Structure 1
């Protein structure tokens, strides 16, 4: 490298989101990664204490000449559940949840649309001459869905995506930001998140049950045994309280999986009065979450980037829209159609990549399957919207 020449930077070093990277960009966490340590302590502390208690029981049985094979199995299962629980937690917290790459610049001014209607708004102060529709309607499995323009990432979000204010990223199939995991839960880590909370539930029930077994084995009576066995008492109370939280969460997310909803959609009553376009039946919904191939990350955080390619800064707080404008509407708004407003050419000429199954038919509408690709502005190519995901299925109605 020539003297005075700066060492090229990698994408994770210039990333504008709030994520924290480790192992030179191989691991990506949320900004509140420190909460992960607290969660590990809350899981590991009681589990290790229980294993110590079981080991003590084995030693006592050996001295009394009793068979300890039963407690060896109990100890092994407890250790296995603990390791799996922490493993699923780390797999959830340390991977890209489905972050959609930002555009480096807003759309070019020639691609703008400058009709003054409620469905249009200024994008930001850097392009005061450019206006774009706030929402764009697409068809998902035969149902109209509105995709929203993200001022921060400067792209049209794909259906089911949302911008996380904590991580400052648009995430595919955004479910929620979990403070216990310290990471967004989305398309690429939801499976591991559910396995984490379900394993936590099983571990709580397991420790709770065998803690009672420890007490019941005392021949002096339950009350006297509880006064002597303080550790088992603490574990029983702790697991009883915890299982209501993680158990309820497990049941709730199992319901979401069976109905093919996200937490974000459920909390906004998205499908209470409208048919869910993503629901395929319980069996296929379960297969989609647990048995389908996880799409590869859309970001190569270790890729070398040039200064000119760095992602633009987010708009300042002085230009934040009103609360009504900031509501994340993805279904329903048809203002532009009802008023006969034609969309600009950049929004009409959509090009779709990686079509699977049938060939293109221009006279038929495009129908997105489970995870539609994001509409991303490629600034070097005018009048073009890139569908940026290799594994997303697009078929014709």
Structure 2
């Protein structure tokens, strides 16, 4: 009985493998090696800290709701006109625009460089590799150099090799440790939007922080207008006006502190755009003693960053993964790559296993024959009968034969035995 259960377990494992092969092909986002979170079938890509996006949305929407529901009606009542409705409408539409820009910033590919399936060959690296940074490179090691020299606008720039993505990063590219991706023109990873800021979404990030700054100024200004009108109508001082419209006072304090944050970011990134530099470059390199190879002048820098065409993504997250690619990806996730030599060895070992299986099948078949003969003669040992019946052994061998694709041979032998038994 135990052998029968083992044979069934092996047969079920084989069925499971067949089902995995026949399963529908997976898509790129389902086998993605980064730490990203995908939504809507791979149409939206976020960073692993996408939950912070909820807090960012609340910090924008909730103050606008209080402004439109409490301050604007009071403003219209004080002025005896529809000005409150217009002020509220502008705030709501502008907030919707900011949320759309926020989604474009956090929900799209920031410029991820696709990973290599295998490291580049040493002979493909070229003469521009920096051998001094090559561990053991001067002693004939087959390791890859850590850096390469690339010419950018007449200036020699070093690019590093990424061991995770198995590629030499393009200039201005860096590996984000949070998203676990190499990102082109990497600026920084922003926790407020839950995404890396790179070549494809930097423009939208700047539009987001600058628009949020303008919204803060807008709410701040009209809250002051409301308090000033209350002071004029009721002929009171500022303290009493705060008591008559406490929401206006709270929003003034809130927007005052918020504008220092988003306004400071806007000013800092205006400076970076003017010199065509990223936050990462500004904090790490500073270009103190070297010429910035990317600075093309004030006008050209603004045109390149804010008004040029956004490059297409290098990744199609909804594309179907080929079977061989999926096999290769699974081998990479196990920490090794199956070489052609290794595949030939595995094939040879598989053929040997089949030969051994056939021999085991012959032995079991002979045991069945002897068991049947003993049973007919009444001389079968008692312990053999107690352990397993002939029908159970036959079913075990049938399952075993089905596992190795030998059902036809087993069926023919079974017919011969039946014919012999009938003749006897």
**TM-score for both structures, normalised by structure 2:** 0.68
Structure 1, 265-274 or 31-40: larger mean CA deviation: 265-274
| 1:265 is aligned to 2:281 | yes
1:121–1:304 distance in 2 versus 1, CA, 3 Å? farther
1:314–1:172 distance in 2 versus 1, CA, 3 Å? farther
- The corresponding residue for 1:310 is 329
| 1:119 is aligned to 2:136 | no
Within 5 Å, give how 1:236-385 maps onto structure 2: 236-306=252-322, 307-310=326-329, 312-313=332-333
1:21 Cα deviation after fit:
0.3
1:118 Cα deviation after fit:
4.8
1:14–1:122 distance in 2 versus 1, CA, 3 Å? farther
**1:36–1:182 contact (8 Å) kept in structure 2:** yes
1:223–1:110 distance in 2 versus 1, CA, 3 Å? closer
1:117–1:18 distance in 2 versus 1, CA, 3 Å? same
Number of paired residues? 306
Q: Deviations over 1:114-142 (max 9, x none)?
A: x996511389xxxxx73111111010001
Q: Aligned match of 1:87 in 100, 108, 123?
A: 100
1:42 Cα deviation after fit:
0.5
1:314 Cα deviation after fit:
9.9
Secondary structure, aligned partner of 1:56: helix
Q: Deviations over 1:145-176 (max 9, x none)?
A: 01110000000000000000000000000000
1:101–1:122 distance in 2 versus 1, CA, 3 Å? farther
Q: Aligned match of 2:90 in 67, 72, 77?
A: 77
Distance 1:227 1:67 in 2: 21
- The corresponding residue for 2:173 is 161
Secondary structure, aligned partner of 2:144: strand
Structure whose residues are more often strand by fraction: 1
| 1:18 is aligned to 2:35 | yes
Larger RCO, structure (CA 8 Å, separation 6 or more)? 1
**1:152–1:315 contact (8 Å) kept in structure 2:** no
**1:112–1:131 contact (8 Å) kept in structure 2:** no
Distance 2:112 2:274 in 1: 24
Aligned-pair Cα RMSD in Å: 2.6
Gaps of 5+ in 2: 1-17, 337-424
1:170–1:313 distance in 2 versus 1, CA, 3 Å? farther
**2:122–2:144 contact (8 Å) kept in structure 1:** no
1:197–1:112 distance in 2 versus 1, CA, 3 Å? closer
- The corresponding residue for 2:251 is 235
| 1:7 is aligned to 2:24 | yes
Distance 1:77 1:133 in 2: 56
Within 5 Å, give how 1:47-62 maps onto structure 2: 47-57=64-74, 60=77
| 1:211 is aligned to 2:195 | no
Distance 1:297 1:97 in 2: 8
- The corresponding residue for 1:386 is none
Distance 1:169 1:215 in 2: 50
Q: Aligned match of 1:106 in 112, 119, 122?
A: 119
1:244–1:314 distance in 2 versus 1, CA, 3 Å? farther
Distance 2:47 2:186 in 1: 14
1:310 Cα deviation after fit:
2.4
**2:26–2:321 contact (8 Å) kept in structure 1:** yes
- The corresponding residue for 1:200 is 212
Distance 1:276 1:163 in 2: 21
Secondary structure, aligned partner of 2:263: helix
1:133–1:108 distance in 2 versus 1, CA, 3 Å? closer
1:112 Cα deviation after fit:
8.4
**TM-score for both structures, normalised by structure 1:** 0.72
Distance 2:193 2:157 in 1: 31
**2:76–2:85 contact (8 Å) kept in structure 1:** no
Structure 1, 144-153 or 224-233: larger mean CA deviation: 224-233
Secondary structure, aligned partner of 1:133: coil
